[in-house]
Amino acid sequence: MPRRPNILMVLTDDHASHAVGAYGSVVNTTPQIDRIAASGWVMEHAYCTNSICTPSRASILTGIYSHVNGVTTLSTHLDNTLPTFVSRLQEEGYRTAVFGKWHLGEGEDHQPRHFDDWEVLRDQGEYVDPLFLTPEGEHRRTGYATDVITDLALEWLDRRQAEDPDAPWCLLVHHKAPHRSWIPDEKHAGMYTDPIPVPETFTDDYATRGVAAHRAAMRVADHLTRDDLKQDPPEGLTYEQTALWKYQRYMEDYLACVASVDDNVGRLIDRLTEHGLFEDTFLTYASDQGFFLGDHGWYDKRFMYDESIRMPMLFSYPAALPAGKRSERFITNVDLARTFLEAAGVEPDPGMQGTSFFTDLREELPPPPDQAFYYRYWENDDGIHHALAHYGIRTERYKLIYFYNDGLGLPGTRAAVFAPEWELYDLERDPDELHNRVLDPEYAQVLAALKERLAREQAKVGDEPYVVTHDGAGLPLPRNRPPQPVR
Ligand code: CA
């Protein structure tokens, strides 16, 4: 009987996979994170099922979708009586801890539970001298958040090994970085002053997209604030030049925050190795979602376009998994809980959704045919980023997105009234998702088939079609009417 693995997850906030060396980044290097790739698996198709912090974190812990665990938005907090992979591990003798960003609620019913030890950032967390919440109350720690959180994890690890080296453990290291407002550690400031490559889609004009893309206030050129950029653009630049200057400023700080994460991942791997634990630890590096790095002109996430939904996800567990592998298997944040539990030989809670892919990784099984995953973003204009709610599916070749655009133009308000809209992308011919094919007759059959597939995938995870509540003029539709078909 092999030793039960330790479970160590480093979860960052808003770290796009295209800013990870192992994913072919052209804007930075991440030599420490890449060590995980060299000793394990890089998941090429890891996706978030609701691309925003709180819901993704809840889905990772509980192994269930937003519409089932109720954590659909930033303001819906986690019911901490729900089973999680951590609660199951604790019940089976694992020692458990979480340090760093929580962001799932701070009241008694929402704060960390089933952790032997925890110390988490208040709210979104601060980069410098951050305030922490603990079971004993709050206190401030001095230093740079990414270092401080790693220090807490290392101290815990050392203590665990000193007190009870035979008990398996589960340790979650949750960084605030590289979340907005991108404040680098002093030692990384100035690391990226050379011109940073600009993505080809930076000047996307959204010509064939629905209103959601036009309405979103996430544009590098228009919506980054002085707090984000820390200085005013030079005077006398054109609009285009100013946009590029803002992109450079934004990316300099974003990538410097990532550099600190990378250093600290190295510290964790080194300490595991010193303790002789690296072989027997199921080590995961992931982010709660992806992020736009100037792609389509944006920063932020939310939308179902690939840069936003694609999570970096790397695993190593040398005692059981092969090294230096890349997987084309579709995997989502919902799948992590069952995967960790299978690796640990612990039965999942029967209510957990998702699929364990641990055996697939161990035995290097090919991905199943005809993969697809269901996505839903629930916030229908948060009043800041103005992204509209939508759902859809991504298959290996296509992506279908449905924006219901409902209830935004209520009578008496100045907001425009919109009708539902579809977007369809052929990822083989158009990997940058620039050409919405929904009105293209050539794609009529594909569209019909994808709509059916979407309905099937939605039903399979227990979600339901959105029922429109207002007509095209913004007037409330009568209640108790039959649900409107999604067409
Ligand atoms: Ca996030």
For residue 54, report the distance from its CA to the centre of ligand 1, in Å. Answer: 7
Are 121 and 100 in contact by the 8 Å Cβ rule? The answer is: yes
Q: What are the backbone dihedrals phi and psi of residue 248, each rounded to the nearest 5 degrees, phi first?
A: -60, -45
The answer to whether position 306 is within a domain reads: yes
Give the single-character DSSP code of 167.
S
Sheet of strand 398-403, all strands in order from the earlier edge strand to the far edge: 372-377, 390-395, 398-403, 421-426
275 shares its domain with 146: yes
Please, which residues have CB within 8 angstroms of residue 397's CB and are 6 or more apart in sequence? Answer: 426, 427, 428
Degrees (nearest 5) of the Cα angle 307, 313, 316? 160
**Residue 477 within a domain:** no
Ligand 1 center to 324 CA (angstroms): 27
Are 20 and 74 part of one and the same domain? yes
How remote is the CA of residue 53 from the centroid of ligand 1, in Å? 4
CA of 59 to the centre of ligand 1 (A): 13
Among 369, 397, 422, the domain-final residue is 369
Please check whether residue 487 lies inside any domain of the structure.
no
Rounded CA gap, 433 and 423, in Å?
10
CATH number of the domain where residue 114 is located: 3.40.720.10
Q: Is residue 300 domain-shared with residue 433, that is, in the same domain?
A: no
Is there a contact between 309 and 52 (Cβ–Cβ < 8 Å)?
A: no
Q: Are 200 and 126 in contact (CB under 8 A)?
A: no
Strands 6-12 and 281-287: what pairing? parallel
- How far apart are the CA of 289 and the centre of ligand 1, in A? 6
Spacing, Cα 171 to ligand 1 middle (Å): 19
Q: Are residues 307 and 398 in the same domain?
A: no
Distance from Cα 477 to the centre of ligand 1, integer Å: 35
Distance, in Å, from the CA atom of 372 to the CA atom of 331, rounded to the nearest integer, reads: 10
Cα(74) to centroid(ligand 1), Å: 10
Amino acid in position 294 = G
Tell me, in angstroms, the distance from the centre of ligand 1 to residue 164's CA.
34
Rounded to the nearest angstrom, the distance between the alpha carbon of 378 and the centre of ligand 1 is 15
Cα of 261 vs centre of ligand 1, distance in Å, is 15
- Asked whether residue 337 is domain-assigned, the answer is yes
In a domain, 50, yes or no: yes
Residues 437 and 288 reside in one and the same domain: no
Q: Are 10 and 131 within one domain?
A: yes
Same domain? 439 vs 365? no
Residue 122 forms part of a structural domain: yes
52 Cα–ligand 1 center, Å:
5
Do residue 275 and residue 348 come from a single domain? yes
pTM for this predicted structure: 0.96
Q: Is residue 20 part of a domain?
A: yes
| 201 occurs within a structural domain | no
Q: What are the distances in angstroms from CA 3 to CA 106, 223, 264, 317, 357?
A: 35, 51, 27, 12, 20
CA of 161 to the centre of ligand 1 (A): 31
Residue closest to 174 by CA, chosen among 268, 238, 237: 268
CA of 291 to the centre of ligand 1 (A): 8
Is 310 found in the same domain as 378?
no
Secondary structure (DSSP) of 46-59 = EE-SS-SHHHHHHH
Q: Give distance in angstroms: CA of 300 to centre of ligand 1.
A: 9
Helix, coil or strand: residue 117 = strand
Q: How far is the CA of 10 from the centre of ligand 1 (A)?
A: 13
Ligand 1 center–CA 3 separation, angstroms: 34
Going by their DSSP bridges, the two strands 281-287 and 313-316 should be labelled as: antiparallel
Q: How many CA atoms lie within 13 A of 347 on its CB side?
A: 4
Which pLDDT belongs to residue 1? 45
Q: What pLDDT was estimated at residue 417?
A: 60
CB-count exposure of residue 44 (10 Å: 0-12, 13-18, 19+): middle
What CATH number is associated with residue 406?
A: 3.30.1120.10
| Cα–ligand 1 centroid distance for 14 (angstroms) | 4
Last residue of a domain, one of 334, 369, 404: 369
For residue 254, how far is its CA from the centre of ligand 1 (angstroms)? 13
Q: How far away, in angstroms, is 215 Cα from ligand 1 center?
A: 21
Q: What is the DSSP letter of 404?
A: -
Nearest to 362 by CA among 316, 317, 329, 321: 321
Kindly give the distance from the C-alpha atom of residue 479 to the centroid of ligand 1, in angstroms, as a whole number.
Answer: 36
Give 320 Cα–ligand 1 centroid separation in angstroms.
Answer: 30
Position 223 scores a pLDDT of: 97
Where is 6: in which H helix or E strand? strand 6-12
CA of 412 to the centre of ligand 1 (A): 34
Residue 210 CA to ligand 1 centre (angstroms): 25
Q: Give me the amino acid identity at 237.
A: L
Low-confidence stretches of the chain (pLDDT < 70) are 1-2, 407-417, 472-474, 479-487
Q: Distance, CA 302 to ligand 1 centroid (Å)?
A: 10
Ramachandran class of 482: left when φ > 0, alpha when ψ lies in -120 to 50, beta otherwise: beta
When divided into structural domains, the chain yields a total of 2
Between the CA of 126 and the centroid of ligand 1 the distance, in Å, is 14
Same domain, 90 and 22: yes
Please state, in angstroms and rounded to a whole number, the distance separating the CA atoms of residues 131 and 380.
31
Domain span including residue 314: 6-184+249-369
* Cα gap 112→49, rounded to integer Å: 22
Q: Tell me the CA–centroid distance for residue 474 and ligand 1, in Å.
A: 33
287 and 274 fall within a common domain: yes
Q: CB-hemisphere CA count at 13 Å for 375? A: 31
Domain boundary among 342, 369, 396: 369
* Angle value at C-alpha 330, between 329 and 331, nearest 5 degrees: 110
Cα–Cα–Cα angle for 348, 352, 355, nearest 5°?
Answer: 85
Q: Are 394 and 420 contained in the same domain?
A: yes
